Structure 1
Amino acid sequence: MSSVAQQTAIRGRFLDIQNTVLQASQISDQVRYIEDGLLITEQGKIIWFGTWEDGQSQLNKSIQVDHYPEQLIVPGFIDTHIHFPQTEMIGAYGEQLLEWLNTYTFPTEIQFANKEYADQIAYFFVNELLKNGTTTALVFCTVHPQSVDALFEAAERHQMRLIAGKVMMDRHAPDALTDTAESAYQDSKALIEKWHAKGRNLYAITPRFAPTSTPEQLERAGQLKAEYPDVYVHTHLSENKNEIAWVKELFPEQKGYLDVYHHFGLTGERSVFAHCVHLEEHEWQCMHDTDSAIAFCPTSNLFLGSGLFPLKKTWEKQVKVGLGTDIGAGTSFCQLQTLNEAYKVQQLQGDKLSAFEAFYHATLGGAKALHLDDQLGNFNLGKEADFVVLNLKATALQQLRQERAKNIEDALFALFTMGDDRNVQATYVYGNKVYEQKN
C-alpha cells in the first residue's frame, strides 16, 4: 500500500463543479474555473483551495509544489459501472446481450476461480483505470470470492476508493459459475465483514441480473441489504428488449423488471442499476421515489445494439445518474471517449449534451449517483483528494483545435470529443501521484 502524503501542493488551472444540482440548466452557475490556482492536501484530504495569489501564504516552505501551468486539473473521473473480469474480452465480435454473455463472458469469468489469475487481471485493471484518470469505480467481480479479494488488494496498493462485490448467480449459467442462494449469502456476508468500510473499500451486493438469480437468492440479497444498510447494491436493469421479456416470463407475479428488485428490497439510495435503456413510466417513478441511481453506459449500449439511453429524462424525473464504461461490452476505459459517445447518443434523440453537463456526470454527478458527493467529485474543502491532470493538446490535431477554443467550455467540449488516455498526464489518488504519463 502506498503511504498517504503528509501534504501535497498542486498549482495550475483548475476546473470543477461546486455543488450538485437539480437541473442541467443550473450546472453552468456552479462551474468554478481558476486560471492560476493552488490545491493543498493533507492526509489524503483537501485542506486549502483557491488562487495561487491567495494560497502562497498557506504553504509550508518545505513543500515541493507540483506545477502544471499548461494543463487542466479536474476531479478524478468516476465510473459507475464496469466489470473487471471482462477486461481481456473487450471488443468481442458480433452478439447482443444474452448471446454475448454465453459466448464470451461466462467462459472468460470461469478463469477467475484461480486467485493468481484474478490477481494478474486485477493489477492490470486498476492500473488501466488510473492511466485513464478514473479514481473511483463501482465494479463487478465474478461469482468467486477470491476475485473480490484480488480486486480490493490491488486497489489498496494505491488507497483507491472502489466499490465492488461478488456476483450472485444461481441459475441460467454454467455450473462452474453458479452458487446457491445460501452460499451467495454466506460468501457475500463474509466479504462484507472483511472489506466494507476498511480503508477506502466499499462493498456492493451484486446479483448479475434478475434472470440469473432465483427468487430465493434475491430474497437473500435483500436480507443482506437489510442487515447492512450502508452496503451498496449493483446490478443490471432493462438493457435489452429480449432480456426484459425474459424477466417478465421468469417473474410473472411482478409488474415489471424493476419491480423484481424493488420487491426484494434491493432499491434505495445506494442501489445502482446499469443501463435502464428501456424503463417504463412506473419504473422511472420508482427510481425517483427510492432514490436509486442509473449508470449510463453509452459505448456498451451502442456496441451491443441495446438502444439509446434517454439522459434528458433523468433530469425530468429527478433520478440520479452517473457514467459507466461497462468494460468489456463497453469499448474504452476512458471517460473522455465515453462522453464522446454519450453526446452522440443524445444527438440521435434530438437532444444536446453540453460540455459542462458531460463534465458534471463524469465527476460530481457520478459521486452523487454513488451517494458519495459529500466525499468526492469536486475540490471543496474536506473532500478526498482524487484528481487528474489533463493535457488538452496531446495530439497535433488537438493542439490545432484547442488554439481556436473560444473559452473553457469550448476547450472542454473539444477534449471530450477528441480525447483519450493520451490526454491524462497524471492521476492523483488520496493526495498521492499514482500515475504519470511517460514522455
Structure 2
Amino acid sequence: MTSDSPTETTETADATDATGPGDLTEGLDALLPSLRELYRDLHAHPELSLQETRTAAKVAARLREQSGWEVTEHVGGTGVVGVLRNGAGPTVLLRADMDALPVLEATGLPYASADRAPDRDGNDVPVMHACGHDMHVTCLLGVTALLAGHRDGWRGTVLAVFQPAEETAEGARNMLDDGFRDRFPKPDICLGQHVGPFPTGVALTRPGPLMAASDSYRVRLFGRGGHGSSPESTVDPVVMAAAVVLRLQTIVSREVGASQAAVVTVGSIRAGSKENIIPDEAELKLNIRSVDPVVREKVIAAVHRIVRAEAAASGAPQEPEITPLNSFPLTVNSADATATTIDGLRGALGEQAVLTLPQPINGSEDFGLFGTELDTPSVFWHFGGADPAAFEGLDPAALASRGLPPELPMNHSPRYAPLQDPTIELGVRALLGAARSWLGGGE
C-alpha cells in the first residue's frame, strides 16, 4: 500500500462528498498537505515506548502554533496534553498514542523507517510504526487545528492527550499517576480511535466490551545442564519448555467453555546456545487475551498451575519463575455514550459507514484507564486505513462478523501501513464528528 496509488486519489475525492460535522471541517482541504507531510515525517522517524521525545516535541510545537492551546509537556514521561477552553460547555478528552514497535519495516514506502534504537534491555532493534500510531497523532493534530480555528462553532473545553507507551500498557497509567486528575479539567467524555486494516471510510465499534484484556508473562524454567551425549545426567529445560508449551494449548480447548472466549499464545521461547549442550534454563514469554473477568482469572490460574506442574514432572531443581510483563484492562464502551458518539461518526462518515461489531476484538488497549480513573464515560472505535479494492465483492457489513481478508497486512505486521490518503482526511473527520457530538453549540 503506497501513498501514490490511483485508488487513494479517487477515494479522497469521494470522501469529500461525505456529510461532515458542520462548519468545523471548513479549511480541512487546505490543512491536508501539512498533515500529510507530518504523517510521513512521523512514520519515517518512529520511537519506542517511553522514548517518544522527538514525537512529543513536534506535537507540542504544532499545538503552540494553533492559537489558544495551553500546552503541558512531560506528563507521565513523554506525554503531551493540550487544553483549549472555549466558554461554558462540556469537557471532551481526545486521545492519540505516539509509540512505535521493534519491527523491521517491509512496506517499501518511500517514507519507510530505517531507524533503529536501543530497547529497554539495551538491544539495538529496528523501529517501525507498525500499528498506525503516527496516523493517530496526525489525525488528532488535524482536529486540534480545526477546533482552534473555528471557536465560533462550538463551546466547551477540549483536552488533547498525546499518550506515550500504549504498546507496553504503561503510558495511560503513567500520565494518570502524574497528577492528571488534579492538573487538567475533568472530562465529561473520553474519546479515542484506532486505525486498522478495514476499508477507508468505515468505522467499527460497539457498546460494552470492545477490546480484550491482555496479560503477558515471562516464565523461567530451571534445569540442570550438561553434555548432549549424556541427557540422563541432566534435567533438560528444553524438553520441559516443550511440554509446557503443548500443555498450555489445552487451556482454551479443555478448560474454557465453547461459548466463552480466550486466547493463550506463547510468542517467544529461548534456550541454549549450541546443539550438543543441554542448558541450565529456558525462557518463555506468553500472552493471554480474555473478555470476561471470571475467564481471565481462570486462565491465569491455569497457566500458573501447568507451568509449576510440568516443572515438577520434569524433576526441576527449583520452582519456575513467573513474572508479569504487562497488563491491559478490558476496553469497555459506555452504552449511552456510544450511541451519541455513533451519531457523530455517522454525521462525519455517512449513515452506512459505521458498523456495529457483534463481539469484542481480541486486540487490547490502555485507553480505557482514562475513563475508569477519571470516573468518566469513554468510547473507542476503529476506522479503516486499507484500500477498498482489497474488499471487492465483500459486503462491508460482513467485516463485522466474518473478519478480514487473510492476505491483508494486519497491525504489527512489518508490511502494515495505512493509506496516507484518504485515511488522514477521514480520520480527522471521524474524530472531529465524534467530538462535535459532545461539545456545546456555537453562536
Q: TM-score per shorter chain, which class?
A: under 0.3
TM-score scaled to structure 2, two decimals?
0.26
> Quick check: which one's helix share is greater?
1
Pair member with larger Rg = 2
TM-score scaled to structure 1, two decimals?
0.26
Q: Which structure would you say has the larger RCO, counting Cα contacts within 8 Å and 6 or more residues apart?
A: 2
